[in-house]
Copies of this chain bind each other. A is one copy, B any other.
């Protein structure tokens, strides 16, 4: 075993956030390496994925997934290298996707690990060919059901999920309109990702710009933000529009929930507003990941990463993600 004598490093939840998450809500702790049993592998984290859903796990409220207990390691997906294996399918040096959490070493049952295929940078399996990409695919196609010629509006358009949504919508023959924070992100969304337009929600009067960018109204919304953004998208909806509710990042750090004011549009325009959770249908992940990885390999699906260095930087990078300071998929390079 190559790591004998090595210590594990973990980020644990120290306190539940009141409003905005603070770095002091996390603790950095050393611990012994986990011991592995038959069927398990020892994993060294290469890249940790940071995602908005993690904010919900820090609260002690009923949700679709259990809260992180105080003192426990923060949850999270990772790309990891096998350093020791007691599973017949894996050997040291293999690279896998695993729910490693915010830590340098983890162990896992080998039966539930996805081996990272060769030919692509492994980090894409945490981004456009990972959970965010599958989220984009399911929300857009299962709930949004876009038809050629329709208009699709995506918030957090430069992010890990939004960037895939818009590119898939373009491939489908739709008009893709993004909403993002700041001119740099908007330029990237249009110039690199190929959206038809992108609205900077930090500008005053952006509702008028959204109106101009959606001359035929909105048929499909993909909502990652909530609050004013969702209300403004609803103002542009056509009859029978579909809105995939993927995230409400605008309210994740509010002590009071962000209300939705334009409920009337849902009624008048007979809109279907539907929340979804990508982990509800795990059986479809492999097929969707193959589809997405193929598009990345051919250069058709573009992506961008923001990489923080070292596990110690994870809390700060996570807070930045919640504030929209990242650009594209937020990762932490751990080893």
Contact = CB atoms under 8 A, between A and B. Distances in A.
A66 B4 CA distance: 76
Interface residues of A, number: 33
Contacts of A247: 267
A275 B268 contact: yes
A120 interface: no
Given A64-B239, A239-B64, A259 B263 contact: yes
A272 interface: yes
Nearest to A262: B257
A39 to B, nearest CB: 31
A280 B274 contact: no
Nearest to A276: B270
Interface in A240-267: 245-248, 251, 257-264, 266-267
A133 interface: no
Contact of A266 (B259, B267, B275): B275
A269 interface: yes
Nearest to A239: B64
A266 B270 contact: no
Given A64-B239, A239-B64, A266 B261 contact: no
A270 B63 CA distance: 10
A257 B246 CA distance: 24
A269 B280 CA distance: 11
A197 to B, nearest CB: 23
Contacts of A64: 239, 268-270
A248 B267 contact: yes
21 contacts: A63-B268, A245-B266, A247-B267, A248-B264, A248-B267, A251-B263, A257-B261, A257-B263, A257-B264, A258-B263, A259-B259, A259-B261, A260-B260, A266-B273, A266-B275, A270-B275, A270-B276, A270-B280, A272-B273, A273-B273, A274-B274
Nearest to A252: B264
A277 B64 CA distance: 31
A271 interface: yes
A178 interface: no
Interface in A263-306: 263-264, 266-277, 280
A269 B275 contact: yes
The 10 closest A-B pairs by CB, nearest first: A259-B259, A267-B275, A260-B260, A266-B275, A272-B274, A270-B275, A273-B273, A259-B261, A260-B263, A63-B268
A59 to B, nearest CB: 10
Most buried by B among A257, A269, A271: A257
A226 interface: yes
Nearest to A259: B259
Nearest to A63: B268
Interface in A62-78: 62-64
Given A248-B263, A270-B277, A271-B275, 5 more contacts: A257-B261, A257-B264, A258-B263, A260-B263, A269-B275
